[in-house]
């Protein structure tokens, strides 16, 4: 949405918070490129395959993507989708006895016999509704210490809700008005001047006494003066995206009367319930999950579209993330499903501010850790310090201990200007964020055989997952704990570099924003793995699909 940032001030409104690199000189596949050879802060993926991994054999690694859904028929993903060989497609039976019928490519925990959940509320809204039923009933009085603590929590929730609703409703109304005005202006000019594009001279030359035409002229003249070179149609599309984004928040995320859960058909109060949902892993809105999947493992051999990071991977699709906040019960069950069906890495590009059933997720994380599964999670896009602000799911258990097989990923940019290396939207934390990974203008797959740039820690996490899968694939003797340690120790450091801290907090060292003070780098990681592996670069003898580069 770079156009929106550049142009929207023409009506003197507050810009929608977006990110992106407008520099046309940055290649679409910059995140795969090498810092030294290509002058972008990429992962050195292509260099790694062309040098130290050339001619090496590999095993297939299964990466579970817990997300909004994946278009498993996408031309760049179909060959790399995980297939449950014990299941017969479409017969309505649980052929392999894992509790899930027809789970060919994975499972959805936000669907049921009646369809799929698309929008859902925020956890903030659900907590407010839950506590309101108790605390706002007539005659309620807090008696115990627990009651008083709950009341304090409720008041904090209520205040946060009211503040967020007021701000997002303001943004919704603003973008709604702006969208209508610009669309009206463009439609009117199309009627007067015919099909565009239009230049300023054409618009300035319009003569009319019609107030509608004069209004349309004014809108476009102001735009072209204040944001020269902006394509009005592209700007309209970005304003529409912003309008629809805030519309979903107000109409669904913060709507206390909205509850889509009956569609799923589970007993939601039974937090230990495991077997519910449906086999529709694409769902009604699979853009986010499809984009994430492509970053990890889009087919590198077909000569079309994009190339994923890992070249011998299978993507397991697990749908648990709606347009709104995911629910702890679904996240926990998604982790169990991934682990029990053979995933070695779980990518989690989602997060929220509250986690009322965190204990359920903690139990699932412990289970994954016990089974040697690496969990990789996006740090979030609020430009906040997660050493201070909450972000869930998190590796820290209620007991105070933390998972040893967890990586928390912030987003980095192509870094043409190295002070802008850390994405301005990325969460950070010296204690809570492990390292940074490419997450700005990442070109990847979207539904319908499409491709698109997206930005976010949601893109940075699968970039790290792709490198982790590369290591597991070519060094099968190294356990997940060692893979995690390699990724941490091999991050690319920037001695003495000062970067702009997210949220406009001035310039700091990268080591002030994450544990390692570095950015993940495939070449350095593979180089270290070569030293630690007993059989470096060879997956011979591993019972899985293998291929040679």
- Calpha distance 87→549 (Å, rounded): 31
- For residue 537, name the pLDDT band (cuts at 50, 70, 90): low
- Confidence tier at 538 by pLDDT (50, 70, 90): low
Pairing status of strand 313-319 against strand 61-67: parallel
- pLDDT tens digits, 171-184: 999 999 888 888 88
Question: Do residues 517 and 509 lie in contact, with contact meaning Cβ atoms separated by under 8 Å?
Answer: yes
Q: What is the pLDDT of residues 319-355, one digit of tens each?
A: 999 999 999 999 999 999 999 999 999 999 999 999 9
300: closest CA among 289, 291, 312, 288?
A: 312
- Is beta strand 313-319 parallel, antiparallel or unpaired with respect to 106-108? parallel
Among 25-29, 208-212, 236-240, 370-374, which stretch is predicted with the lowest mean pLDDT?
Answer: 208-212
Q: Please give the torsion angle defined by the CA atoms of residues 139, 145, 146 and 150, in that order, rounded to the nearest 10 degrees.
A: 60
Q: With a cut of 50, say whether residue 7 has pLDDT above it.
A: no
Global confidence as pTM: 0.90
Which two three-digit tokens encode residue 231?
């394509």
Query: Tokens 């989708």 identify what position?
Result: 81
CATH 3.40.50.200 fits 2-120+260-534, yes or no: yes
CA 261 from centre of chain:
23
The mean of the pLDDT values for the chain is 90
Confidence of residue 236 (pLDDT cuts 50, 70, 90): confident
Strands 406-412 and 435-438: parallel
**Helix or strand (DSSP H, E) at 359:** helix 358-370
Average pLDDT for residues 477-488, to the nearest whole number? 98
**Percentage of residues in the chain having pLDDT higher than 90:** 78
The predicted pLDDT at position 380 comes to 97
- The pLDDT assigned to 506 comes to 86
Higher pLDDT, 520 or 503: 520
Q: What is the pLDDT of residue 228?
A: 67
Contacts 24+ apart (CB under 8 A), 98-105: 98/340, 98/341, 99/274, 99/275, 100/275, 100/277, 100/279, 100/337, 101/279, 102/279, 103/279, 103/341, 104/279, 105/70, 105/72, 105/81, 105/281, 105/316, 105/317
**Residue 23 exposed, middle or buried by CB count within 10 Å (0-12, 13-18, 19+):** exposed
The answer to whether 39 touches 52, Cβ cutoff 8 Å, is: no
Tokens 């060919």, residue located: 104
Every domain range in the chain assigned CATH 3.40.50.200: 2-120+260-534
- Would you state the pLDDT for residue 193? 79
In this predicted model, what pLDDT tens digit does every residue of 125-166 receive, in sequence order? Answer: 999 999 999 999 999 999 999 999 999 999 999 999 999 999
| pLDDT band per the 50, 70, 90 thresholds, residue 542 | very low
Q: What is the pLDDT of residues 366-423, one digit of tens each?
A: 999 999 999 999 999 999 999 999 999 999 998 889 999 999 999 999 988 889 999 9
pLDDT at 546 over 60: no
Rg (CA), the chain: 25
State the Cα–Cα distance between residues 262 and 270, nearest whole angstrom.
Answer: 14
For residues 509-529, average pLDDT: 97
pLDDT at 16: 35
């Amino acid at each position: 949405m770079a156009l929106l940032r550049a142009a929207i001030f023409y009506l003197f409104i507050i810009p929608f918070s977006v990110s992106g690199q407008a520099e046309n000189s940055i290649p679409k596949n910059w995140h795969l490129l090498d810092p030294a050879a290509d002058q972008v802060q990429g992962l050195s993926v292509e260099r790694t395959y062309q040098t130290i991994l050339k001619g090496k054999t590999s095993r297939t690694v299964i990466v579970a993507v817990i997300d909004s859904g994946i278009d498993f028929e996408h031309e760049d993903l179909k060959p790399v989708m995980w297939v449950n060989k014990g299941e017969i497609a479409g017969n309505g039976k649980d052929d392999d006895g894992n509790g899930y019928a027809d789970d060919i490519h994975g499972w959805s925990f936000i669907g049921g016999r009646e369809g799929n959940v698309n929008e859902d509320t925020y956890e903030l809204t659900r907590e407010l509704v839950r506590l309101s039923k108790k605390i706002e009933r007539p005659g309620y009085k807090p008696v115990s210490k627990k009651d008083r603590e709950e009341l304090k929590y409720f008041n904090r929730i209520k205040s946060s809700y009211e503040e967020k609703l007021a701000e997002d409703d303001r943004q919704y109304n603003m973008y709604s008005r702006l969208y209508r005005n610009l669309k009206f202006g463009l439609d009117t000019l199309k009627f007067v001047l015919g099909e565009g594009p239009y230049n300023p001279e054409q618009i300035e030359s319009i003569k009319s006494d019609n107030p509608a035409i004069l209004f349309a002229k004014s809108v476009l003249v102001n735009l072209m003066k204040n944001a020269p070179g902006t394509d009005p149609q592209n700007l309209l599309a970005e304003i529409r995206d912003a309008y629809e984004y805030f519309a979903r928040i107000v109409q669904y995320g913060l709507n206390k009367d909205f509850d889509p859960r009956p569609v799923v058909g589970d007993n939601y109060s039974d937090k230990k319930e495991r077997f519910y949902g449906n086999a529709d892993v694409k769902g009604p809105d699979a853009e986010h999950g499809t984009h994430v999947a492509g970053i990890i493992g889009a087919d590198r051999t077909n000569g079309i579209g994009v190339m994923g990071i890992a070249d011998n991977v299978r993507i397991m699709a697990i749908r648990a993330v709606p347009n709104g906040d995911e629910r702890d019960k679904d996240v926990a069950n998604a982790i169990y499903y991934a682990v029990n069906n053979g995933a070695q890495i779980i990518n989690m590009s989602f997060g929220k501010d509250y986690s009322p059933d965190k204990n359920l997720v903690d139990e699932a994380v412990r289970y994954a850790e016990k089974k040697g599964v690496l969990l990789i999670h996006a740090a979030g896009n609020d430009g906040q310090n997660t050493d201070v602000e909450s972000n869930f799911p998190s590796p820290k258990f209620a007991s105070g201990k933390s998972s040893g097989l967890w990586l928390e990923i912030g987003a980095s940019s192509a870094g043409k200007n190295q002070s802008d290396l850390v994405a301005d939207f990325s969460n950070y934390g010296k204690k809570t964020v492990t390292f940074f990974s490419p997450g700005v203008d990442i070109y990847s797959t979207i539904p319908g055989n499409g491709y698109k740039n997206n930005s976010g820690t949601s893109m940075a996490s699968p970039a790290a997952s792709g490198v982790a899968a590369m290591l597991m694939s070519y060094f099968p003797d190294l356990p997940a704990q060692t893979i995690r340690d390699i990724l941490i120790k091999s991050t690319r450091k920037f001695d003495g570099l000062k970067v702009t801290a997210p949220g406009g907090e001035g310039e700091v060292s990268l080591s002030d924003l994450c544990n390692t003070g570095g950015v993940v780098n495939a070449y350095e990681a593979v180089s270290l793995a070569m030293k630690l592996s007993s059989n470096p670069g060879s997956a011979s003898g591993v019972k899985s699909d293998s291929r040679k580069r």
